[in-house]
């Protein structure tokens, strides 16, 4: 596994992508990632991508992570989903006090974190030195091979300073197999169960701090910021209603963008303004949840859409030369439109990632624009895959064909609460009109 600032290692990433693709069909049928895929994702360093720097984190950026996850998604959407969640759950662990971070990452940066805020009948009782918790949490992707879990005391509510997130080790939780769905079958997003587990105070943080990007001062001042610690201030953007459901449940060259700082800034192709080194680490860990959470779930869909496009290109190339001209033309037009939609979505996601990498989320309206961009990108991707699925006809609907699996996965992933355009659009326009 690589833990350098140049993450990901190209060879390890390619191995992980190839392994995930090779086992994608059996993972879909069996409802679980192959052990070889899990190992390859870990060896590629996804667990360490956003882990705290002091705990062996790779110090990567949102841009690199988005590209890497999409590369895995071209072979297996579920594998990309798990890889992405490993990385972003590692980012969440930076909100723990230093002692908690050290305990979670004690065995090294290969530690696999899962999470859920979908609390069901949770009891969190304050006791001497911490809390005693019991309950169930739904849609915990990757729980079967998890080392630690981050779970909430209750469903999140904007501005609520009582809801806490607890870090629970593997020997303190079990799971019930409850995940049986049309798409994203191999994520294994089962129900996590905790019975009477003690969680010390240092293994807990406020959900609202994570929502706002408000890091604990000791973690923020561990060599990654200026003397004033200014980067840990809460973001000024207005969070949307999608916050409540945005905590995780269930490769082409990067096209970075330079936003203008306004809510309607243009897209461009320059990455030269990106932060680097310690500044980039600070920007990653202090980004508010609602502004970047869409990247977690959109990147796997981007990869899946690219693979769908490739399958249709191959499908059209194999069509008999005597096929009706009208059909050939309509299918090629559909291919062109879908390709444009996928490229447009990639540009939107690139701007979201680049904006966060360069620490611009505090500028007026940028955070809500990023949330809008992530959700709009997913709408484009789902529409593109629908269009491509129709082009493949009955061939693509065969249970042996990868297209039907991609179509199911894209619709399943696209239904995640963090990816819904309507609440993001309302938050964006509210900010725009108020300005």
- CATH code for the domain of 182: 2.40.110.10
| Whether residue 117 is found in the same domain as residue 101 | no
Provide φ and ψ at 323, rounded to 5°.
-60, 150
Number of domains the chain contains:
3
| Whether residue 72 is found in the same domain as residue 157 | no
Is 247 within a domain? no
Q: Which of 105, 136, 169 is the last residue of a domain?
A: 105
Is 48 within a domain? yes
86 neighbors 41 (Cβ within 8 angstroms): yes
Is 278 within a domain? no
At 252 the pLDDT is: 37
| Whether residue 90 is found in the same domain as residue 127 | no
At 50 the pLDDT is: 96
| Whether residue 121 is found in the same domain as residue 96 | no
Q: How far apart are CA 5 and CA 277, in angstroms?
A: 7
Q: How far apart are CA 268 and CA 194, in angstroms?
A: 48
| Whether residue 66 is found in the same domain as residue 121 | no
Is 201 within a domain? yes
Domain with 94 in it: what CATH number?
1.10.540.10
Question: DSSP class of residue 149?
Answer: E
| Whether residue 320 is found in the same domain as residue 413 | yes
| Whether residue 91 is found in the same domain as residue 186 | no
pLDDT in tens, 88-101: 999 999 999 999 99
Is 61 within a domain? yes
| Whether residue 198 is found in the same domain as residue 315 | no
| Whether residue 419 is found in the same domain as residue 344 | yes
Is 219 within a domain? no
Q: Which of 158, 184, 206 is the last residue of a domain?
A: 206
CA torsion sign for 272, 295, 366, 229 is negative
Q: Which of 152, 175, 206 is the last residue of a domain?
A: 206
**Per-residue pLDDT in tens (0 to 9) along the chain, 435 residues:** 544 458 999 999 999 999 999 999 999 999 999 999 999 999 999 999 999 999 999 999 999 999 999 999 999 999 999 999 999 999 999 999 999 999 999 999 999 999 999 999 899 999 999 999 999 999 999 999 999 999 999 887 777 788 999 999 999 999 999 999 999 999 999 999 999 999 999 999 999 999 999 998 654 444 333 333 333 443 333 333 344 333 334 333 344 343 333 444 444 433 434 455 556 568 899 999 999 999 999 999 999 999 999 999 999 988 766 556 666 889 999 999 999 999 999 999 999 999 999 999 988 899 999 999 999 999 999 999 999 999 999 999 999 999 999 999 999 999 999 999 999 999 999 988 876
Is 281 within a domain? no
At 161 the pLDDT is: 80
Q: How far apart are CA 375 and CA 358, in angstroms?
A: 21
Is 216 within a domain? no
- Asked whether the whole model's pTM tops 0.75, one would answer yes
CA-CA distances (angstroms) from residue 242 to 43, 177, 372, 417? 33, 27, 11, 6
Domain membership of residue 135 as a residue range: 113-206
| Whether residue 195 is found in the same domain as residue 328 | no
| Whether residue 183 is found in the same domain as residue 93 | no
pLDDT in tens, 279-326: 656 889 999 999 999 999 999 999 999 999 999 999 998 876 655 666
Q: How far apart are CA 356 and CA 103, in angstroms?
A: 28
Provide φ and ψ at 176, rounded to 5°.
-110, 135
| Whether residue 89 is found in the same domain as residue 160 | no
At 247 the pLDDT is: 37
CA-CA distances (angstroms) from residue 172 to 135, 294, 341? 12, 30, 45
pLDDT in tens, 329-349: 899 999 999 999 999 999 999
């Amino acid at each position: 596994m690589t833990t350098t600032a140049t993450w990901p290692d190209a060879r390890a990433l390619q191995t992980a992508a190839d392994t995930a693709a090779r086992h994608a069909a059996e993972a879909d049928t069996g409802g679980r990632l192959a052990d070889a895929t899990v190992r390859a994702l870990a060896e590629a360093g996804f667990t360490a991508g956003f882990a705290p720097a002091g705990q062996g984190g790779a110090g990567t950026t949102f841009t690199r992570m988005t590209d890497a996850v999409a590369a895995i998604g071209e072979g297996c959407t579920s594998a990309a989903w798990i890889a992405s969640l490993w990385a972003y759950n590692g980012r969440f662990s930076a909100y723990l006090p230093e002692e908690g971070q050290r305990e979670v990452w004690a065995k090294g940066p290969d530690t696999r974190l899962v999470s859920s805020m979908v609390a069901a009948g949770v009891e969190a009782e304050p006791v001497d030195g911490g809390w005693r918790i019991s309950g169930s949490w739904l849609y915990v992707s990757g729980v079967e091979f998890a080392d630690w879990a981050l779970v909430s005391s209750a469903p999140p509510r904007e501005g609520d300073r009582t809801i806490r997130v607890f870090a629970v080790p593997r020997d303190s939780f079990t799971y019930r197999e409850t995940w049986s769905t049309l798409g994203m079958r191999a994520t294994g997003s089962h129900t996590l169960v905790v019975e009477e587990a003690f969680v010390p105070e240092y293994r807990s943080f406020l959900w609202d701090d994570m929502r706002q990007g408000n890091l604990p001062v000791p973690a923020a001042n561990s060599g990654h910021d200026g003397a004033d610690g200014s980067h840990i201030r809460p973001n000024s953007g207005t969070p949307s209603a999608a916050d409540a459901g945005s905590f995780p449940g269930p490769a082409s060259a990067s096209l970075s963008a330079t936003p203008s700082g306004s809510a309607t800034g243009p897209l461009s192709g320059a990455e030269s303004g990106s932060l680097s080194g310690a500044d980039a680490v600070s920007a990653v860990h202090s980004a508010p949840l609602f502004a970047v959470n869409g990247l977690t779930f959109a990147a796997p869909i981007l990869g899946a859409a690219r693979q769908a496009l490739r399958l249709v290109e191959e499908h059209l190339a194999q069509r008999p030369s005597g096929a009706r001209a009208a059909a050939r033309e309509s299918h090629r037009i559909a291919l062109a439109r879908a390709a444009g939609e996928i490229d447009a979505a990639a540009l939107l996601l690139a701007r979201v990632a680049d904006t966060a990498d360069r620490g611009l989320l505090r500028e007026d309206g940028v955070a809500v624009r990023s949330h809008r961009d992530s959700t709009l990108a997913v709408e484009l991707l789902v529409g593109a895959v629908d269009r491509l699925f129709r082009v493949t006809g009955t061939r693509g609907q065969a249970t042996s064909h990868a297209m039907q699996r991609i179509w199911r996965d894209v619709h399943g992933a696209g239904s995640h609460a963090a990816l819904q355009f309507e609440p993001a659009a309302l938050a964006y326009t509210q900010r725009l009109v108020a300005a």
